[in-house]
Amino acid sequence: MSPELLIGSITLFVLAIFLGVELITKVPATLHTPLMSGANAISGISIVGALIGANVAFENGNTAISGLLSFVAVVLAMINVVGGFTVTNRMLNMIAGKKRRGA
């Protein structure tokens, strides 16, 4: 990896962190759960990308580090997806409970 590419990648990563922090702090608390559904979709795309990356690494014979990084990416994205669906399901159950009580 060339130094220019490494510096560009690090710069992009740092800018993404700043953008994420700014976006999250500006969102009202009532919108966090609906936005979790969008985060689940993004994490699903991350899972697919990690699986494709693992397959490419396996076909090229670079299984040690690439396989480990792909495994970590899949595990972290799955934790995010399961947590997001759990929170969304709880929110929907709370709304359904209020409707049944006549509120």
For 27-69, how does the pLDDT look when each residue is reduced to its tens digit (9 = 90+)? Answer: 776 676 667 667 777 777 888 888 887 787 777 776 777 778 8
Full-model pTM: 0.56
d(Cα 50, Cα 76) in Å, to the nearest integer? 11
For 8-32, how does the pLDDT look when each residue is reduced to its tens digit (9 = 90+)? Answer: 889 998 998 998 888 778 877 667 6
Let me know if 72 is exposed, middle or buried by CB neighbors in 10 A (0-12, 13-18, 19+).
exposed
Residue 92 has pLDDT above 70, yes or no: yes
What is the pLDDT, as a whole number, of residue 15? 93
